[in-house]
C-alpha cells in the first residue's frame, strides 16, 4: 500500500504500528483533466451518496460506481518501480458486503470487472479498490451492526488497494443508533475513514 492508504489502516486498526515499504511511495494515479471528482492520486476517497429504502443493494451506488469505473479506465498509474501503465479493469476491485449488491454491480459494470465480497478478494490487491456499503441507514440494516461495520472487513477491503481506496457510503450510516461501546467503536471507524479522506492524500478534483 501507498503510505496514504496504509496510514488509515495503521491509525484505525493497528495502533500506528503498520508501516509501508518505501518504494510504495512511487505508486500513484495519473489523472487527466476529465477524471471523476472523487479520484485523487493516492489515499482514501470518501464519497457520500444519499438514498433511501436500501437494505442489501443500492441502484444509486451502482450507478455512481459505474461512472467512477468508466473514468478510471481513462486514466493511468505509476507502479512502485516508476513505470507508467494505463488503468484497465484488472487494476480495479469493486467490493460490497452483500451478495445482492455484488450481483447488481456485475449486471451494470462492464464484462470483466472484478466484483465480489471481501471474502472473495482476501489476499489479492489492485491499484484501486471501490467499496460499496449499499445500506441506506440503520433502519434498513439486514444484519447486526457488527457485520456491516466490521473493523476487520473494512480493514481487509481498504488494504486491498495499492494506491487509492474509494468508499461509497450513505452519510446516514455515520449517525446510526448504537447500543454498546463496541458498536460505537465500529461506527467510529467509518467516521474516521471519512475524516481521514478529507485530510490525507492527493487532492481530489
Nearest to 158 by CA among 136, 187, 188, 190: 190
List the chain domain ranges: 3-199
All residues at 6 or more sequence positions from 189 whose CB lies less than 8 Å from its CB, including other chains: 12, 13, 149, 151, 154
DSSP code per residue over 143-175: S-HHHHT-HHHHHHHHTTEEEEEEEEE-GGGGG
For position 9, what pLDDT does the model report?
Answer: 86
Whole-prediction pTM:
0.94
Q: 3-199 sits in which CATH class?
A: alpha beta
For position 52, what pLDDT does the model report?
Answer: 97
Alpha-carbon 41 to chain mean position: 14
Q: One digit per residue, pLDDT tens: the chain, 205 residues? A: 999 999 898 887 777 778 878 899 999 999 999 999 999 999 999 999 999 999 999 999 999 999 999 999 999 999 999 999 999 999 999 999 999 999 999 999 999 999 999 999 988 999 999 999 999 999 999 988 999 999 999 999 999 999 999 999 999 999 999 999 999 999 999 999 999 998 865 444 3
For position 203, what pLDDT does the model report?
Answer: 44
For position 169, what pLDDT does the model report?
Answer: 97
For position 201, what pLDDT does the model report?
Answer: 55
- The Cα 87–Cα 73 span in angstroms is 5
For position 59, what pLDDT does the model report?
Answer: 98
Amino acid at each position: 500500500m501507498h503510505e496514504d492508504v496504509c496510514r488509515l489502516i495503521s491509525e484505525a486498526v493497528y495502533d500506528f504500528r503498520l508501516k509501508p515499504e518505501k518504494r510504495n511511495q512511487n505508486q500513484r494515479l495519473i489523472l487527466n483533466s476529465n477524471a471523476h471528482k472523487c479520484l485523487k492520486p493516492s489515499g482514501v476517497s470518501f464519497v457520500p451518496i444519499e438514498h433511501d429504502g436500501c437494505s442489501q443493494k443500492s441502484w444509486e451506488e451502482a450507478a455512481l460506481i459505474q461512472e467512477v469505473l468508466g473514468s478510471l479506465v481513462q486514466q493511468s498509474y505509476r507502479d512502485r518501480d516508476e513505470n507508467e501503465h494505463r488503468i484497465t479493469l484488472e487494476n480495479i476491485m469493486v467490493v460490497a458486503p452483500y451478495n445482492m449488491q455484488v450481483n447488481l454491480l456485475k449486471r451494470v459494470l462492464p464484462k470483466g470487472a472484478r466484483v465480489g465480497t471481501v471474502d472473495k478478494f482476501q489476499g489479492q490487491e489492485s491499484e484501486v479498490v471501490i467499496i460499496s456499503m449499499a445500506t441506506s441507514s440503520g433502519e434498513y440494516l439486514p444484519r447486526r451492526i457488527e457485520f456491516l461495520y466490521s473493523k476487520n472487513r473494512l480493514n481487509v477491503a481498504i488494504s486491498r488497494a495499492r494506491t487509492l481506496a474509494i468508499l461509497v457510503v450513505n452519510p446516514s450510516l455515520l449517525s446510526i443508533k448504537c447500543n454498546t461501546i463496541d458498536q460505537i467503536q465500529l461506527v467510529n471507524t467509518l467516521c474516521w475513514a471519512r475524516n481521514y479522506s478529507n485530510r490525507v492524500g492527493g487532492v481530489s478534483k
